[in-house]
Structure 1
Amino acid sequence: MLCGFASLEEVFRTEFGAVLQCSNKNCYWLEFAGDCTPFKVTDFLHLRRKIEEINLSELLFDPSPRADFTIIMPFRSQRCFVLSVSDVLNLKELMQGAKFMMELPGIIKDCLKAAPTSPLIIG
């Protein structure tokens, strides 16, 4: 359940979930698999790296029953994610989109610094 005092801004959304940013509490909310989970910024970044590190090829080609699900227990969270291969794909997509949107302002700023400052000639 989202906090009533939270001021949430959507970072990225897919049909399977969303990443929201709360400026009031300086945290991120992960909406996935029917639940919303808050994360401190460093904990969210750690979770994002853990999701990025999941090797899909290994999951797909491993014949053992343990490869059917991946268990992720985020740091300082009461939530445990038990993910099927399709859940991993959906969560990876969500996290990659959120990562891009989080890095986009810095990329734009770098591009604007590198842009030549020649005078605009209209004529």
Structure 2
Amino acid sequence: MAKTSFHQLEEIFRTPAGVVYQCNRNNCFWLEFAGGISAFKIHDLLELKKRVEQINLEEMAHNTARVADVVILNLFRTERCFVLTLTDVLNLRELLQGAKVMLELNSILHDCLHAMAV
């Protein structure tokens, strides 16, 4: 993990497959998944979530061709290439969906507390 340390990170969401952290110091999110750690700006993290959700799981499961066993995702503005099996896709979906819900909840709480203070 370059130019940051784990003590500067706030855990957003965790599953057995990975973790999403927020780094306010660098205004980014860190995704720890499948043995790798990658930094994302919020719009890039949401783009990854969108791309993962667009993967046709039914097609992956039913297609007997060897090329259907994995999906490769190359994302703009990141050096990481994701090579995902069907199980990886499911695990990454769960992790990214949970992180998004936690971020939305945090935003709602912030808005409510700010409204009460005014």
Q: How would you bin the TM-score normalised by the shorter chain?
A: 0.7 to 0.9
1:68 is the counterpart of 2:69: yes
Contact 1:28 1:38 in 2 (8 A): yes
Q: Percent identity?
A: 51
Q: Which runs of 5+ in 1 are unaligned?
A: 113-123
Deviation, structure 1 residue 2: 4.9
Q: 1:97 to 1:80 in 2, by over 3 A?
A: same
Greater helix share, 1 or 2?
2
- Secondary structure at 1:29 match in 2: strand
Larger radius of gyration: 1
Distance in 1, matches of 2:71 and 2:44, equals 19
Cα distance change on mapping 1:110 and 1:57 into 2, 3 Å: farther
Shift of 1:106: 4.0
1:47-85 per-position Cα deviation (integer Å, ceiling 9, x unaligned): 111111112111111122111000011211111011111
Query: TM-score, normalising length from structure 2?
Result: 0.84
Root-mean-square deviation (CA, aligned residues, Å) is 2.0
Give the secondary structure class of the aligned counterpart of 1:91: helix
The residue that corresponds to 1:116 in the other structure is none
Unaligned ranges ≥5, structure 2: 114-118
The one-letter code sitting in structure 1 at the alignment partner of 2:12 is: V
1:12 is aligned to 2:33? no
**Map of 1:44 onto structure 2:** 45
Which residue identity is paired with 1:64? A
Give the Cα–Cα distance (whole angstroms) in 2 for the partners of residues 29 and 55 of structure 1: 26
Between the two proteins, the alignment pairs up a number of residues equal to 112
Distance 2:61 2:111 in 1: 39
Distance of 1:56 and 1:30 partners within structure 2? 22
